[in-house]
């Protein structure tokens, strides 16, 4: 899978927990949350649009930054 990099406007543990919740619900994802830099890195078979819509379900501002180089 490609690792996709997203910006999510997270300010606290509660925000990152919300991201964790929606991604677990989606399923089929491996992800890392970088809270200080407000980044979420996702390995998934889902397309970018699906992932972005899922992240937006947290109610946070989210945007796609591109494919993360290994």
Where along the chain do its domains lie? 3-67
H helix or E strand, kind and range, residue 57: none
The CATH architecture that domain 3-67 belongs to is 2-Layer Sandwich (3.30)
- Dihedral sign (CA 58, 22, 56, 16): positive
**Under-70 pLDDT residues of the chain:** 1, 70
pTM: 0.92
The pLDDT of residue 70 = 59
> Do 40 and 33 touch, CB atoms closer than 8 A?
yes
Per-residue burial over 16-54, b if 16 or more Cβ lie within 10 Å, else e, is bebbeebbeebeebebebeeeebbbebebebeeeebbeb
The pLDDT of residue 2 = 75
């Amino acid at each position: 899978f490609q690792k996709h990099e997203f910006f999510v406007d997270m300010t606290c543990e509660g925000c990152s927990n919300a991201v964790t919740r929606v991604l677990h619900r989606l399923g089929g994802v491996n992800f890392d949350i970088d809270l200080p830099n407000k980044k979420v890195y996702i390995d998934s078979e889902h397309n970018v649009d699906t992932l972005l819509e899922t992240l937006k379900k947290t109610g946070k501002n989210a945007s796609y930054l591109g494919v993360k180089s290994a």
